[in-house]
């Protein structure tokens, strides 16, 4: 999972760098190299906005999965029950 995250981050940095340089050329500004781009506030703003929603979604799933599987939760079957006992009983 860590390699997938690093790969996505790298792909996002390269595509953002390309877009940033295109905007620089439109405004007759000099191009920047990749290392300068990833240390710029523009890159970090875009990165954090993108990943904020992903971290919120994954964090919510983790919290709810732990909460809903606690012993005595009214939202799921008892923890020790077999998988075949899910659904309506009776």
34-57: per-residue pLDDT in tens?
Answer: 999 999 998 888 888 877 888 888
Confidence of residue 74 (pLDDT cuts 50, 70, 90): low
Instruction: Decide if pLDDT at 3 tops 80.
Output: yes
Predicted pLDDT of residue 50:
75
DSSP letters spanning 34-78: HHHHHTSHHHHHHHHHHHHHHHHHHHHHHHHHHHHTSTT-TTS--
Q: What mean pLDDT do residues 21-30 have?
A: 94
């Amino acid at each position: 999972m860590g390699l997938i995250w690093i790969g996505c981050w790298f792909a996002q940095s390269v595509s953002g760098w390309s877009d940033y340089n295109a905007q620089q050329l439109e405004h007759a500004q000099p191009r920047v190299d990749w290392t300068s781009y990833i240390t710029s506030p523009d890159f970090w703003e875009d990165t954090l906005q993108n990943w904020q929603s992903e971290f919120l979604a994954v964090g919510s799933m983790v919290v709810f999965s732990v909460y809903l599987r606690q012993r005595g939760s009214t939202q799921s079957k008892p923890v020790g029950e077999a998988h075949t006992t899910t659904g309506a009983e009776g």
